[in-house]
């Protein structure tokens, strides 16, 4: 992989605008266009990064790129956001300087993606380890959660941040992340109830309906159809490039990584579902006797019931909160009814407050998980991702607040990059030309001045008694700000549009640093008041849902606060002031984001749009200030030191720099050519010697192989010829008979060694009849002998018993076939080894031929008793199973016969001879699993004994 050694090597256009010649607006825009067309979306102004949104994925954020920019000089490689992130991280780690990265630009310019890239780079280059990796993963995974709940699709951006976010990432002395703290600013909660045409509500609503399982939606009482919810716009419900179902799975996984419990996730989704349900609640007028109309909830689809079930609140409590308003003043309470319009206002106010408070709870909950645990002092890197400057056809209170915030950020940029640098040039007595620039402090003062600023007058209108409307607020502006040079209205003294209908009566215009913006005053007072009726707060506090009391603490009747809550404008102004103080304590790093076109498509560069952004961002003035004094010299010195120049050579004008750079490049090319020449010669010579050596070895091995192969072929041919000649001679003499005899004897090979196999080759000639028969007989006797020779005496005895069992029972007893495969074991009780039967073993003097457990059948009641059955050559014995005591011992000569049935049962009867000594004991009816073996052994003993009659075996069905 090629690694550039200088900012100027192989550069498309000029990578640092400080070196641009000639410097004017046209060359500035042309340089941006040239680099953009070649996928170079980053350009420097000194240490400031200009980022062009490519509206497509580029292969410049790989792990290899991270390693390439890691611990490298800022100017050493081509411009990249990684270079700024690395510079900020190393300054924090090595120089102990707190850093902040300010990302500014219009909506859709790529600020959110830039903040993600900075965080992912810092996470990649900082330390490793199980705990550190867990912290990094939690910090990174907080983004998908906040984007889902705080971002939305707008006309200018498919993933527009509708809230401001500032994250302080805390590091230890080694530079390893310890945790972080997130601050959020002014969620655009009016979007919950109404969205401009072509825009969407917050992502989470669409993600939930698209990606949640059917079971989850059933628990939340939701349907996948977007059209069933009044708060969801349908014209832009589906956005190309956004997979809401996949995003929902990502959000669920991110919440788990950050540290949300499953019960907490379910509670959050329940509140999201409740907001959707709120939008479907409708009201109907109900006439009263005194002539006033009051609202009643019209719950035709059961939305109110389902929402109450989700929140754990009684339906009557919620319906009353939508129908009445209680006002408290000096210990007195007065209840008034709400008409339909007021009820709808209360419903939307509740929805907006519920969602915005849920969002604030999410930020607080994330902070609990990602906060640093160590108590020691931390190094801090702040990343600011806040809404961009916005100019819409219809601009209301939200755009006014957003643009005010951007004015404050621009003021910091001016303070730190333009004014302070020029003042430092004066202190250092550096000869330079003063650079004129627009200082927007006058606009910030117009908005935030405590006495006569627009926000102060708006608060005054909201708090004063009497009739207050948006028109009275505009009248006050026309009175107080009439002569301000950046304020215009139909009645202001600066207005030149008294007859111009582009400036309506209900609007005012402010000349911002980014251009003129027309604001419609409709809704300013209500949105600034941000009031939620106390009845609704108290109703929400009564809900049993796990989060409601945390979200609506003012609803606690025991802690009623009659003091009016601060306005939205006051809160935002205070939070912006805290943010500005925080940023001023850190070393700033700037990323100025620019969108190349309004169509949100790749490869389109609109000169007029880019020029407008360059002008209001003050980028030309920034370049001129940085070229005017020692900043240029120090930057060039740092860059040229990496190229082996002496630092003192840096103090020259930009054209001289390019001349020397060309000479340096020519010398480097000549040196590279010489090195390549020597290297290629050495490489070719080495390759040739290796080829020559290999050729000699291959040739030697091949010649030997060829000769061996030739010899083997000659030898094989000779043997073939000899065999054919010899065979030909034999065939002439013995061909007729020999062929048949050969076929006959070869056929004997196929005869198996099994004595059961009766196959034998056919007789070829009549004269072989005697030999044929004798060979067959001899072969059969021989293989039988071979087969018998394998038997031991014990095995022979077993087979003899098996043969005798076959003669007795085959085709007579149904139980017999199942016993063929079971070997005759004899002693099934192991009587010689089992100590339990030592007494019994002593009582039997002869060798036990069979020991088995049988059932003795009582003829009186048919019940069986387990008995031990022992058989010797002279007696059979029945003994008690538990005690081993002999119950009966019968000499075999007294046994007359054994009777069994033809069935598959195990019963057998032992009949004694009449008049024998044992006849008094009576016959025995027994049952055994080894009947075949017992009777075979009885028969075998009776047959081999010379002093007694053979035992009769009776097999019948009787």
CA–CA gap between residue 573 and residue 455 (Å, rounded) = 8
CA–CA gap between residue 475 and residue 491 (Å, rounded) = 9
DSSP state letter for 223? -
Q: What percent of the chain has pLDDT over 70?
A: 88
Establish if 523 belongs to a structural domain: yes
529 or 832: which leads in pLDDT: 529
> Is 694 considered catalytic here?
no
Residue 111 annotated in ligand binding: yes
pLDDT tens digits for range 437-475: 678 889 999 999 988 899 999 998 888 877 788 889 998
Establish if 61 belongs to a structural domain: no
pLDDT band at 232 (very low <50, low <70, confident <90, very high): very high
Q: Which of 179-188, 562-571, 727-736 has the highest mean pLDDT?
A: 179-188
Q: Is the pLDDT of residue 651 over 60?
A: no
Which of 31, 43, 51, 112 is labelled catalytic? 112
Show the CA angle centred on residue 108, arms to residues 487 and 154, nearest 5°.
Answer: 85
Are 825 and 932 in the same domain?
Answer: yes
Number of structural domains in the chain: 3
Q: Which of 725, 757, 789 is at the close of a domain?
A: 789
pLDDT at 652 (0 to 100):
38
Specify the range with the lowest mean pLDDT, choosing from 113-127, 136-150, 844-858: 844-858
Long-range contacts of 347-350 (CB under 8 A, 24+ apart): 347/278, 347/279, 347/281, 347/283, 347/322, 348/192, 348/193, 349/531, 349/532, 349/533, 349/536, 350/278, 350/532, 350/536, 350/540
Are 818 and 785 in the same domain?
Answer: no
| Torsion angle of the four alpha carbons 235, 238, 240, 241, in this order, in degrees rounded to the nearest 10 | 150
Are 784 and 890 in the same domain?
Answer: no
For residue 934, CA distances in Å to 173, 334, 344, 715, 824 come to: 91, 108, 99, 72, 9
Q: Which of 773, 789, 805 is at the close of a domain?
A: 789
CB atoms within 10 A of CB 493: 12
Which of 388, 453, 555, 569 is labelled catalytic? 388
Question: 244-258 vs 130-150: helix axis angle to the nearest 10?
Answer: 140
| Torsion angle of the four alpha carbons 230, 235, 238, 241, in this order, in degrees rounded to the nearest 10 | -140
558 Cβ contact partners less than 8 Å away, ≥ 6 residues apart:
none
Contact 455, 573 (CB under 8 A): yes
pLDDT at 132 (0 to 100):
86
| Torsion angle of the four alpha carbons 252, 254, 260, 262, in this order, in degrees rounded to the nearest 10 | 30
Nearest to 119 by CA among 191, 27, 182: 182
444 or 804: which leads in pLDDT: 444
CA–CA gap between residue 44 and residue 80 (Å, rounded) = 9
> DSSP letters along 766-790, please?
GGGHHHHHHHHHHHHHHHHHHHHTT
> Is 161 considered catalytic here?
yes
pLDDT at 701 (0 to 100):
93
237 Cβ contact partners less than 8 Å away, ≥ 6 residues apart:
200, 206, 226
Contact 138, 370 (CB under 8 A): yes
Contact 135, 370 (CB under 8 A): yes
Q: What percent of the chain has pLDDT over 90?
A: 34
Collapsed DSSP state (helix, strand, coil) of residue 857: strand
Residue 123 annotated in ligand binding: no
Question: 203-211 vs 244-258: helix axis angle to the nearest 10?
Answer: 100
pLDDT at 737 (0 to 100):
65
Residue 922 annotated in ligand binding: no
Do β-strands 282-287 and 293-298 pair in parallel, antiparallel, or remain unpaired? antiparallel
Are 877 and 920 in the same domain?
Answer: yes
Q: Is the pLDDT of residue 906 over 90?
A: no
Residue 915 annotated in ligand binding: no
Are 750 and 827 in the same domain?
Answer: no
256 or 501: which leads in pLDDT: 256
pLDDT tens digits for range 427-438: 766 666 666 667
* Segment (H or E) for 953: strand 952-955
CB atoms within 10 A of CB 158: 19
Helix, strand, coil % (nearest 5) of the chain? 50, 15, 35
pLDDT at 941 (0 to 100):
81
384 forms bridges with which residues in the sheet? 102, 166
Are 951 and 818 in the same domain?
Answer: yes
pLDDT tens digits for range 742-801: 777 777 777 777 777 777 777 777 777 788 888 888 888 888 888 877 777 777 777 788
* Residue 228: burial class (beta carbons within 10 Å; 0-12, 13-18, 19+): middle
Residue 179 annotated in ligand binding: no
Contact 866, 881 (CB under 8 A): yes
CA–CA gap between residue 495 and residue 489 (Å, rounded) = 6
> Is 160 considered catalytic here?
yes
CA–CA gap between residue 650 and residue 643 (Å, rounded) = 12
Establish if 713 belongs to a structural domain: no
Q: Which of 516, 547, 572 is at the close of a domain?
A: 572
Show the CA angle centred on residue 677, arms to residues 672 and 681, nearest 5°.
Answer: 145
For residues 80-106, average pLDDT: 92
Establish if 863 belongs to a structural domain: yes
pLDDT at 348 (0 to 100):
92
> Is 57 considered catalytic here?
no
pLDDT at 66 (0 to 100):
94
Q: Tell me the torsion sign for CA atoms 191, 192, 194, 199.
A: positive
pLDDT tens digits for range 24-38: 999 999 999 999 999
CA–CA gap between residue 672 and residue 236 (Å, rounded) = 58
Long-range contacts of 656-662 (CB under 8 A, 24+ apart): 657/19, 658/19, 658/21, 661/8
Are 818 and 945 in the same domain?
Answer: yes
Contact 603, 114 (CB under 8 A): no
Are 780 and 829 in the same domain?
Answer: no
For residues 307-334, average pLDDT: 83
Nearest to 623 by CA among 474, 437, 748, 799: 437
CATH number of the domain where residue 498 is located: 1.20.58.530
Are 784 and 822 in the same domain?
Answer: no
Which of 151, 154, 160, 440 is labelled catalytic? 160
Are 765 and 870 in the same domain?
Answer: no
Establish if 699 belongs to a structural domain: no
pLDDT at 499 (0 to 100):
56
CA–CA gap between residue 406 and residue 410 (Å, rounded) = 6
pLDDT tens digits for range 484-499: 888 988 776 555 545 5
For residue 670, CA distances in Å to 1, 661, 665, 666, 667 come to: 22, 14, 9, 6, 5
> Is 502 considered catalytic here?
no
Nearest to 154 by CA among 87, 82, 214, 236: 236
Contact 354, 271 (CB under 8 A): yes
Are 414 and 494 in the same domain?
Answer: yes
876 forms bridges with which residues in the sheet? 871, 890
Which of 15, 46, 108, 179 is labelled catalytic? 108
pLDDT band at 1 (very low <50, low <70, confident <90, very high): very low
Residue 109 annotated in ligand binding: yes
Question: 262-279 vs 340-370: helix axis angle to the nearest 10?
Answer: 160
- Over the chain, what is the mean pLDDT? 84
Residue 629 annotated in ligand binding: no
pLDDT at 248 (0 to 100):
96
Q: What is the 3-state secondary structure (H, E, C) of 328-372?
A: EECCEEEEEECCHHHHHHHHHHHHHHHHHHHHHHHHHHHHHHHCC
Q: How crowded is the C-beta side of 486, counted as CA atoms within 13 Å?
A: 20
Establish if 796 belongs to a structural domain: no
pLDDT at 518 (0 to 100):
92
Are 447 and 517 in the same domain?
Answer: yes
Q: Is the pLDDT of residue 233 over 60?
A: yes
pLDDT band at 3 (very low <50, low <70, confident <90, very high): very low
622 backbone dihedrals φ, ψ, rounded to 5°: -60, -45
Question: 244-258 vs 262-279: helix axis angle to the nearest 10?
Answer: 140
Q: Is the pLDDT of residue 53 over 90?
A: yes
CA–CA gap between residue 572 and residue 570 (Å, rounded) = 5
pLDDT at 7 (0 to 100):
54
797 or 124: which leads in pLDDT: 124
CATH number of the domain where residue 948 is located: 2.30.29.30
pLDDT at 299 (0 to 100):
62
Let me know how long the chain is: 958
CA–CA gap between residue 683 and residue 691 (Å, rounded) = 12
Which of 47, 161, 236, 417 is labelled catalytic? 161
pLDDT band at 861 (very low <50, low <70, confident <90, very high): confident
14 backbone dihedrals φ, ψ, rounded to 5°: -120, 120
Radius of gyration of the chain (CA): 51
Contact 298, 283 (CB under 8 A): yes
Q: Tell me the torsion sign for CA atoms 152, 531, 476, 456.
A: negative
> Is 306 considered catalytic here?
no
CA–CA gap between residue 780 and residue 800 (Å, rounded) = 21
Q: What is the pTM of this model?
A: 0.65
pLDDT band at 200 (very low <50, low <70, confident <90, very high): very high
Which of 104, 142, 157, 899 is labelled catalytic? 157
CB atoms within 10 A of CB 429: 6
Establish if 444 belongs to a structural domain: yes
For residues 49-75, average pLDDT: 93
pLDDT at 501 (0 to 100):
64
Establish if 292 belongs to a structural domain: no
CA–CA gap between residue 280 and residue 303 (Å, rounded) = 7
Q: Which domain holds residue 753?
A: 738-789
Residue 904 annotated in ligand binding: no
Q: How crowded is the C-beta side of 788, counted as CA atoms within 13 Å?
A: 8
Contact 439, 417 (CB under 8 A): no
pLDDT at 744 (0 to 100):
75
pLDDT at 650 (0 to 100):
41
């Amino acid at each position: 992989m090629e690694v550039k050694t200088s900012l100027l090597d192989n550069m498309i256009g000029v990578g640092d605008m400080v070196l641009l010649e000639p410097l004017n607006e046209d060359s500035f825009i042309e340089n941006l266009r040239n680099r953009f067309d070649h996928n170079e979306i980053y350009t420097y102004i000194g240490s400031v990064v200009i980022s062009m949104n490519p509206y497509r994925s580029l292969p410049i954020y790989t792990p290899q790129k991270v390693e390439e920019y890691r611990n490298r000089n800022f100017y050493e490689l081509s411009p990249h956001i990684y270079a700024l992130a690395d510079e900020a991280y190393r300054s924090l780690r090595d120089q102990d300087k707190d850093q902040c990265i300010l990302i500014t630009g219009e909506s859709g310019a790529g600020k959110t993606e830039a903040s993600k890239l900075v965080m992912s780079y810092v996470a990649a280059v900082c330390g490793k380890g199980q705990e550190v990796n867990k912290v990094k993963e939690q910090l990174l995974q907080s983004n998908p959660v906040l984007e889902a709940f705080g971002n939305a699709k707008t006309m200018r951006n498919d993933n527009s941040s509708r809230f401001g976010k500032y994250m302080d990432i805390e590091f230890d002395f080694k530079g390893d992340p310890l945790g972080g703290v997130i601050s959020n600013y002014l969620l655009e909660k009016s979007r919950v109830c109404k969205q401009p045409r072509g825009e969407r509500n917050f992502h989470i609503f669409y993600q939930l309906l698209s990606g949640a399982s059917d079971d989850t939606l059933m628990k939340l009482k939701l349907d996948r159809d977007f059209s069933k919810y009044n708060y969801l716009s349908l014209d832009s419900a589906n956005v190309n490039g956004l997979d809401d179902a996949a995003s929902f799975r990502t959000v669920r996984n991110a919440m788990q990584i950050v540290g949300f419990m499953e019960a907490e996730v379910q509670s959050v989704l329940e509140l999201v579902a409740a907001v959707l349900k709120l939008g479907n609640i409708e009201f109907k007028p109900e006439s009263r006797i005194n002539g006033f109309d009051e609202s009643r909830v019209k719950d035709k689809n059961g939305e109110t019931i389902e929402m109450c079930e989700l929140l754990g609140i009684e339906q009557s409590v919620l319906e009353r909160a939508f129908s009445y308003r209680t006002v408290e003043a000096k210990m007195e309470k007065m209840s008034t009814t709400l008409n339909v319009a007021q009820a709808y206002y209360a419903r939307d106010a509740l929805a907006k407050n519920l969602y915005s408070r849920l969002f604030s709870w999410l930020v607080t909950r994330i902070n609990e998980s990602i906060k640093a645990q160590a108590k020691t002092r931390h190094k801090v890197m702040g990343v600011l991702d806040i809404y961009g400057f916005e100019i819409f056809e219809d601009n209301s209170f939200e755009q006014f607040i957003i643009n005010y915030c951007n004015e404050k950020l621009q003021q910091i940029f001016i303070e730190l990059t333009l004014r302070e640098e020029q003042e430092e040039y004066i202190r250092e007595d550096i000869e330079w030309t003063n650079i004129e620039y627009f200082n927007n402090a006058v606009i910030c003062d117009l908005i935030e001045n405590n006495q006569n600023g627009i926000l102060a007058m708006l608060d005054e209108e909201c708090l004063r008694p009497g009739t207050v409307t948006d028109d009275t607020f505009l009248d006050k502006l026309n009175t107080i700000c009439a002569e301000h040079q950046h304020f215009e209205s139909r009645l202001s003294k600066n207005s030149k549009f008294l007859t111009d209908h582009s400036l309506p009566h209900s609007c005012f215009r402010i000349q911002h640093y980014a251009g003129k913006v027309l604001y419609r005053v409709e809704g300013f007072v209500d949105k600034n008041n941000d009031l939620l009726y106390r009845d609704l707060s108290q109703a929400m506090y009564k809900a049993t849902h796990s989060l409601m009391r945390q979200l609506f603490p003012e609803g606690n009747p025991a802690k009623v606060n009659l003091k009016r809550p601060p306005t939205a404008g006051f809160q935002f102004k205070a939070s912006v002031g805290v943010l500005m103080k925080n940023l001023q304590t850190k070393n700033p790093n700037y990323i100025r984001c620019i969108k190349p076109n309004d169509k949100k498509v790749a490869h389109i560069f609109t000169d007029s749009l880019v020029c407008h952004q360059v002008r209001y961002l003050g980028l030309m003035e920034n370049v001129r200030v940085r070229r005017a004094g020692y900043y240029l010299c120090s930057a060039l010195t740092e860059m040229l030191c990496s190229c082996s120049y002496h630092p003192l050579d840096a103090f020259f004008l930009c054209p001289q720099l390019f001349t020397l750079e060309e000479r340096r490049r020519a010398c480097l090319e000549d040196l590279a050519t010489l090195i390549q020449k020597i290297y290629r010669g050495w490489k070719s010579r080495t390759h040739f010697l290796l080829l020559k050596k290999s050729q000699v070895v291959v040739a030697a091995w091949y010649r030997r192989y060829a000769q061996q192969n030739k010899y083997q072929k000659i030898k094989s041919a000779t043997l073939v010829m000899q065999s054919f000649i010899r065979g030909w001679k034999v065939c002439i003499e013995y061909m007729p008979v020999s062929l048949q005899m050969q076929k006959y004897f070869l056929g004997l090979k196929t005869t198996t060694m099994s004595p059961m196999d009766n196959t034998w080759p056919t007789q070829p000639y009549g004269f072989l009849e005697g030999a044929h028969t004798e060979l067959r007989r001899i072969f059969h006797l021989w293989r039988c002998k071979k087969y018998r020779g394998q038997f031991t005496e014990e095995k022979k005895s077993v087979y003899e018993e098996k043969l005798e069992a076959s003669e007795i029972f085959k085709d007579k007893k149904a139980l017999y076939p199942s016993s063929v495969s079971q070997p005759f074991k004899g002693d099934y009780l192991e009587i010689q080894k089992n100590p339990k039967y030592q007494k019994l073993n002593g009582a039997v003097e002869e060798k036990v031929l069979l020991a088995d457990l049988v059932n003795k059948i009582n003829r009186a009641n048919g019940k069986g008793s387990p008995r031990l059955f022992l058989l010797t050559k002279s007696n059979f014995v029945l003994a008690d199973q538990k005690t081993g005591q002999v119950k009966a011992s019968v000499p075999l000569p007294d046994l007359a016969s054994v009777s069994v049935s033809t069935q598959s049962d195990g019963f057998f009867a032992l009949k004694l001879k009449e008049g024998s000594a044992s006849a008094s004991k009576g016959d025995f009816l027994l049952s055994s699993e080894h009947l075949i073996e017992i009777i075979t052994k009885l028969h075998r003993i009776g047959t081999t004994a010379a002093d007694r009659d053979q035992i009769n075996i009776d097999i019948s069905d009787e």
